[in-house]
Chains A and B, each alone.
Chain A
């Protein structure tokens, strides 16, 4: 090391001689390097040479050696270790362990003030080769990195829970109002109830269990009209169909289950109440899927682990809906209409799940298909009354006489729900559908 320094000193002196002639040995020995002033015609090329010369001069007299040359033996002895790179690695332990690439160590070292001149002390040409040695020497004893922390969904807030309960409660209040009122106020109550439930649904699904708030809002608004049609059919459709097949209807519905056009309030109220379990189930699915995402090592493994989760979520919701239907049927003393309501509930839940995970197209198409199938069936019954068009009403008539009016919505919604389930088993098991929408940047 001292030989190197002597050489550096000579070169420094040589460089200084041409300009200013600093022959002051005290300065040089103490580690100050002054290559003197070049003559004032400092041209472009001359300067480049100057820089290069300096790097050579600097090679010998960095921080460590500088202390040694002063003659301070204690200071010099304190710094000398057998393996300087090892000491450096100890200093930058965290950097070395973290690095995925020698260049990352090089960048970190430079940020800590290590230059090519310093690297020369470690017998390296430049920082890059020093970093390469450090990267190669980092002990990597098969330590697996800690599980990447996946951002959890924010905790459910009380406000959100109240919002999900709101449609059901408002619907129950409206039904109670209908029971207690008569005449024109009853009509007003019905209108106000429908409006309030509509607004509550909108609010609940705008802030649903989001993967991205954008998805949820957009999906809710695009699916809105179809959902309303399906709910309306659940309320009025069965009564209308049975009346129509029998030759009616002869007047508007009276709002009772035993009139000429019976209204099925119980399943609709149960469905409105089921908004809360639906939202909770969707959230449960999102949270659990994210946990499995964080735990799984491969895409296939993740898909396999999510499939039962999806089925379980659906089963949980259907169970909750069954209970609600039974309760509503008992309270209102009406038929609970299990098959129609359960298939419709499954269809709507699956559509909701797909929309919140960024697949709005398939649910939109299927809900449209279901709604138009119901509309076509109703229209065909009425079209059958036209002279010579009996044949049009035949299929629906046959269906209703064979299995009753409930068969039509059950078949349609059931087919839709099955199709959506198959689609969801395919898409919701992809890891990409559970990536956080806000993105890491």
Chain B
């Protein structure tokens, strides 16, 4: 199967965590062929980052998105008129008041109409860009600004848009031009995205737009994976622009997200929060498959299988030090724990992130020094503080696994959290955990650890004491956590899940295409029927499959699947 993997960021994969994930996905699914299409950011495409590309990567195409200039074509009169029509329609949809809740029926109808208008305008622009090249030049820009002005002044426009001034219109037009730049890429021909069996967009927003267009032009099914919802990230990031610009741009991004979720064959959020956002933006429940991010479990195997290494009186906190982690609350909770279990120690393992984190770490050290005086074993020994602040990489803690191994209970005290990677690592290590109920914590921990409300040191302390006093329960919870993490959060699980989603999509929406010979004539029977089936079909005798098949498949909806029905019946008889 040929998968078109569309990424956003530096060539060939995006940065950071998603890059790691893409790399693992491509390497893990060697049976498929991957074509990588990267929308490059502002930086110049860098080298391949040391590791050579695996053989299953067919080609890598990078499109610079941020180079300004007159790269596009000048439109003729007719193309300009079409551009004005489509852009005007787009602007009108952006200014239409349609932020309603999709769950109510009347709003749903209105928003469906609006979504259709948006889609037709978007595809109109895309067809124009495919036929005539991307819009360029002052004329198109002026047309765009005028269309935006007209839409903002139209009755029914939202309040911030109505108050748009000329600089706002210019800024919005510039941003929109940038957001629409994927339309003018040359990726949609039969030699590029048109020839793959499945487009896999590794994030929403800009990266999913090429997939959307490939679906529109060539009928290629689209799979969208979002570990963090792009729309949400845009809301959090775009706070400097004026209200009018933000109103227009967020309307565009919301509509685009809705269109992507509507057209995608399958949407895979990384956690429940992302799922809620996607559902809110119009993703249908049936399309959503939550695929948790996978993490490498190998480093933690040794620690996870030796629970006796844990120091029974030690609490461990591991993470990056920043105010959102609420270490203050942890220290107060630890004071309460010490009151009940005087011999307990707390190890805070982590490096501060940025200057803010460093300052916060300083405050925490000061608080710890105030709350807990240094202690010594007897009159002649040198004492130390029951709270120690350490960093990974020292002689004592060579890796994060050592840090988790040192504690009997791993504590997470954040007030804000996305996907808690540290918690998953603790689960891999088979440690009992106490965490605050934030972000995806509850979803990750399942029932295998204690959860307390955030900003509640007393509850945190109580939970810690409960676990400290009950080693047997600690071990039980730790073992269950490790089992759960190995089941759900490994790289293999992640890769497997995507493999099965690929197969599922292909089996539901096979891309039908006609192969052409050298003279441009269609080649009959160039693609045999087996080509549409996943895997090697020739080896498996159909009788065996039919016998092994479940009985309910025979009774289920006989009218809908006539062909398999008859085959199965024949096999049973």
CB distance from A388 to the nearest CB of B (A): 46
Out of A37, A100, A433, A435, name the residue touching B480 (CB < 8 Å).
Answer: A37
A105's nearest neighbour on chain B, judged by CB, is: B235
Binds A, one of B160-168, B403-411, B523-531: B160-168
| Interfacial chain A residues near B178, Cβ < 8 Å | 439, 441
* Mask of A276-314 contacts with B, CB within 8 angstroms, 1/0: 000000000000000001101111001000000000000
Collect the chain A residues with CB atoms within 8 Å of residue B479's CB.
40
Assess the B138–A38 pair: CB atoms within 8 A.
Answer: no
Determine the distance from Cα of A100 to Cα of B95 in the docked complex, in whole angstroms: 12
Instruction: Decide: A432 and B165 in contact? CB cutoff 8 A.
Output: no
- Assess A101 versus B443: contact at CB under 8 Å? Given A34-B450, A431-B170: no
CA–CA, A411 and B9, complex, Å: 57
> B444-480: which residues lie under 8 A (CB-CB) from chain A?
446-448, 450-456, 458-459, 462-463, 466, 473, 476-477, 479-480
The stretch that binds A, out of B345-353, B359-367, B434-442, is B434-442
Choose from A38, A148, A359 the contact partner of B242 (Cβ within 8 Å). A148
Given known contacts A103-B235, A432-B170, is B456 in contact with A66 (CB within 8 Å)?
yes
Rounded to whole angstroms, the CA-CA distance of A257 and B463 in the bound complex is: 102
Q: Could you say which of B42, B416, B450, B463 contacts A112, with CB atoms under 8 Å apart?
A: B416
Q: How many A-B residue pairs have CB under 8 A?
A: 210
Residues in B with CB closer than 8 Å to A214 are 69
Interface flags for B135-161 (1: CB within 8 Å of A; 0: not) read 000100110011001000100001110
Q: Is there a chain A Cβ closer than 8 Å to B26's Cβ?
A: no
Please, what's the 1-or-0 string for A426-441, where 1 marks a CB less than 8 Å from any CB in chain B? 0100111111010111
A125 to chain B, nearest CB (A): 9
Beta-carbon contact of A47 and B170 below 8 Å: no
Q: Does B557 sit at the interface, judged by CB under 8 A?
A: no
Contact A140 B165 (CB under 8 A): no
In the complex formed, the residue of A with least CB distance to B240 is A440
Decide if A62 touches B462 in the complex (CB within 8 Å).
Answer: no
Contact of A294 with B165 in the complex, beta carbons under 8 Å: yes
B contact residues around A154 at 8 Å (CB): none
Is B453 in contact with A299, judged by CB distance below 8 angstroms?
A: no
Cβ A101 vs Cβ B250 within 8 A = yes
What's the nearest-Cβ distance from chain B to residue A97, in Å? 10
B242 touches A107 (CB 8 A): no
Which of A115, A129, A432 is the most central at the interface, judged by chain B CB atoms within 10 Å of its CB? A432
CB of B276 within 8 Å of the partner chain? yes
- Please give, as numbers and ranges, the residues of chain B lying within 8 Å of A327 by CB-CB distance: none
Q: How far does the Cβ of B292 sit from chain A's closest Cβ, in whole Å?
A: 9
A298 & B448 in contact (Cβ 8 Å cutoff): no
Residue among A66, A115, A116, A140 with the most chain B CB within 10 A? A115
Within 8 Å of chain B (Cβ to Cβ): is A147? Answer: yes
B476–A435 contact, CB under 8 A? Answer: no
Query: Which residue of B has the minimal Cβ distance to A19?
Result: B447
A140 contacts B159, CB within 8 Å? yes
Residues in A neighbouring B142, C-beta threshold 8 A: 430-432
Q: Are B439 and A299 in contact (CB under 8 A)?
A: no
C-alpha spacing A140/B439, complex, angstroms: 32
Most buried by B among A19, A58, A107: A107
Q: A431–B447 contact, CB under 8 A?
A: no
Given the contacts A31-B452, A107-B235, A299-B145, A47 and B484 also touching, CB distance less than 8 Å: yes
A128 x B276 contact (CB < 8 A): yes
Known: A40-B480, A128-B280. A55 touches B138 (CB 8 A): no
Q: Quick check: is B254 within 8 A (CB to CB) of the other chain?
A: yes
> Which A405-441 residues sit within 8 Å CB-CB of chain B?
427, 430-435, 437, 439-441
CA distance A63 to B453 in the complex (A): 5
A70 close to B (CB within 8 Å): yes
Decide if A30 is an interface residue (CB 8 Å cutoff). yes
CA distance A19 to B68 in the complex (A): 61
B234-274: contact bitstring with A at CB < 8 Å (1 yes, 0 no)?
A: 01100101111011001100100000000000000000110
- Tell whether B99 is near chain A: CB-to-CB under 8 Å: yes
For B68, B447, B451, B462, the residue with the greatest tally of chain A CB atoms inside 10 Å of its CB is: B447
Say whether B442 contacts A55, CB under 8 Å.
yes
A102: nearest chain-B partner, CB-CB: B99
Task: Evaluate contact between A293 and B167: CB separation under 8 angstroms.
Answer: yes
Question: Contacts A42-B487, A439-B68 known; A115 to B438 CB distance under 8 Å?
Answer: yes
User: A150 in the interface, Cβ–Cβ < 8 Å?
Assistant: yes
Asked whether B145 lies within 8 Å of A103 as measured between CB atoms, the reply is no
Contacts of A437 in B (CB 8 A): 68
Q: Does A35 contact B (CB under 8 A)?
A: yes
Question: Beta-carbon contacts of B481-525 to A below 8 Å, as 1s and 0s?
Answer: 001100110000000000000000000000000000000000000
Q: Is residue B101 within 8 Å, beta carbon to beta carbon, of the partner chain?
A: yes
Least CB distance from A112 to B in Å reads 7
**With A32-B466, A38-B446 in contact, is A293–B454 under 8 Å at CB?**
no
Q: Is B232 on the interface with A (CB-CB < 8 A)? A: yes
Whether B243 and A98, one on each chain, are in contact in the complex, defined by CB atoms closer than 8 angstroms, is yes
* Inter-subunit contact B453/A31 (CB<8 Å): yes
Query: Does A352 count as interface, using CB distance less than 8 angstroms?
Result: no
The chain B residue with its CB closest to the CB of A358 is B138
A145 touches B160 (CB 8 A): yes
Residues of B within 8 A of A117 (CB): 437
Contact with B along A172-185 (1 / 0, CB 8 A): 00000000000000
The answer to whether B163 touches A440, judged by C-beta atoms less than 8 angstroms apart, is no
Chain B residues closer than 8 Å to A47, beta-carbon distance? 446, 484, 487-488
Docked CA distance A41–B480 (Å): 9
The minimal Cβ–Cβ distance linking B164 to chain A, given in whole angstroms, is 8
Does B174 count as interface, using CB distance less than 8 angstroms? yes
With an 8 A cutoff between CB atoms, is B66 at the interface? yes
Mark A100-129 against chain B: 1 for CB-CB distance below 8 A, else 0: 111110011011110111000000001111
Query: A residues within 8 A CB of B247?
Result: 100-101
Q: Could you say which of A37, A50, A294, A431 contacts B169, with CB atoms under 8 Å apart?
A: A431
A295 to chain B, nearest CB (A): 8
What's the Cα separation between A263 and B463 when bound, in Å?
99
Which residues on B are within 8 Å of A, measured CB to CB?
Answer: 42, 66, 68-69, 99, 101, 138, 141-142, 145-146, 149, 153, 158-160, 163, 165-171, 173-175, 178, 231-232, 235-236, 239, 241-244, 246-247, 250-251, 254, 272-273, 276, 280, 290, 324, 415-416, 437-439, 442-443, 446-448, 450-456, 458-459, 462-463, 466, 473, 476-477, 479-480, 483-484, 487-488
The list of the 9 closest CB pairs from A to B, nearest first, reads A107-B235, A100-B247, A37-B480, A31-B459, A435-B170, A50-B446, A35-B447, A113-B416, A54-B442
Residues in A lying within 8 Å of B, measured CB to CB: 15-16, 19-20, 24, 26-27, 30-38, 40, 42-44, 47-48, 50-51, 54-55, 58, 61-63, 66-67, 70, 98, 100-104, 107-108, 110-113, 115-117, 126-129, 132, 140, 144-145, 147-148, 150, 214, 293-294, 296-299, 302, 358-359, 427, 430-435, 437, 439-441
